């Protein structure tokens, strides 16, 4: 079954037009116009990993159920079978080029994090991200970050022919000394998990929406560090966040620690300048 037919069948409607959208290095995305007059967003994947779209759909629903920050409604999802292509169908968000309300976004993100998670990790133990990183539940952030992020990434770096094994050893050193650098204990936060500016949509009212999550229960500083990594978020967002849910002392010096995981993923995928960033972050945490 073609994607358009599958979307129409899932929504009990008929697809009149599909327009391919740009962006994204994994999935093919479309604006879909239906006979009923509705417009939806849909994406598919030629060779998705196991559980690819159902995991993303579960993450979107998990963020949405906190009811504190806009998240598109999941209208349909499939991991693909003999009859149906892999797909995810979401409500359409009309984007704009206007500046987002950063104060409102920071406040909403603080409330999302504060809504919490059952554990560090995921109760369904599903992997997330392009590298399929594990999310087995852990009792503490330091345990989770060491065993479910840093050590698996160190192994992937060691297996990558274009990367220096020395990077792997340095990451393992950080994992072994994690309790000394992870900061004070905190309860698990409800994380987006891949919070760079490209995964925030700004609608015509200037309101921010979260998309493309890699959700898990984790330390809230992880999302904030990801926001700092590639830019695109105003300082007002961080100020309003701290007013609603004050951050622990020393959170900014810990940013490089939390950036190790996304920098390692990008170094594995792309090499280049990400190797410089990874080396700099490792030096910042003493490795």
Residue numbers annotated as active site:
194
C-alpha torsion angle, residues 54, 50, 80, 197 (rounded to 10):
50
DSSP string, 236-256: HHHHHHHHHSPPPTTTTTTHH
Number of H helices, E strands in the chain: 11, 9
Q: Among 203, 269, 192, 272, which residue's Cα sits nearest to residue 226?
A: 192
Polymer length in residues for the chain: 287
Q: Which residues pair with 39 in a beta bridge?
A: 33
Tokens of 156: 């992937």
**86-113 burial by CB neighbour count: b if 16+ within 10 A, else e?**
bbbbbebbeeeeeebbbebbbbbbbbbb
DSSP string, 173-237: HHHHTHHHHS-S--PPEEE-S---GGGEEEBTTS-EEE-S---EEE-HHHHHHHHHHH--S-HHH
- Beta carbons within 8 Å of 171's beta carbon, 6+ residues apart: 150, 151, 153, 154, 157, 260, 264, 282, 287
Tokens of 139: 């009792």
Q: What is the DSSP letter of 24?
A: -
């Amino acid at each position: 079954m073609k994607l358009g037919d599958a979307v129409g069948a899932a929504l009990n409607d008929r697809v009149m037009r599909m327009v391919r959208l740009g962006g994204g290095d994994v999935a093919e995305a479309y604006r879909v116009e239906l006979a009923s007059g509705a417009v939806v967003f849909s994406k598919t994947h030629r060779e998705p990993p196991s559980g690819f779209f159902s995991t993303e759909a579960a993450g979107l629903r998990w963020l949405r159920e906190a009811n504190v920050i806009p998240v598109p409604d999941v209208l349909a999802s499939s991991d693909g079978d003999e009859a149906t292509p892999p797909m995810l169908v979401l409500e359409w968000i009309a984007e704009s080029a206007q500046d987002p309300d950063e104060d409102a976004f920071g406040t909403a993100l603080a409330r999302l994090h504060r809504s919490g998670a059952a554990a560090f990790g995921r109760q369904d133990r599903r992997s997330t991200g392009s590298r399929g990183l594990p999310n087995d539940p852990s009792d503490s952030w330091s345990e989770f970050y060491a065993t479910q992020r840093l050590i698996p990434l160190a192994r992937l770096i060691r297996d990558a022919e274009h990367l220096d094994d020395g990077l792997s050893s340095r990451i393992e050193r950080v994992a072994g000394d994690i309790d000394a650098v992870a900061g004070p204990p905190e309860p698990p936060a409800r994380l987006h998990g891949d919070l760079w500016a490209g995964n925030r949509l700004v609608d015509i009212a200037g309101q921010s929406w979260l998309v493309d999550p890699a959700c898990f229960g984790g330390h809230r500083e992880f999302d904030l560090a990801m926001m700092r990594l590639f830019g695109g978020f105003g300082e007002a967002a961080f100020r309003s966040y701290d007013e609603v849910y004050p951050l622990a002392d020393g959170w900014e010096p810990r940013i490089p620690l939390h950036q190790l995981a996304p920098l390692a993923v990008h170094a594995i995928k792309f090499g280049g300048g990400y190797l410089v960033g990874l080396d700099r972050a490792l030096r910042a945490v003493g490795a």
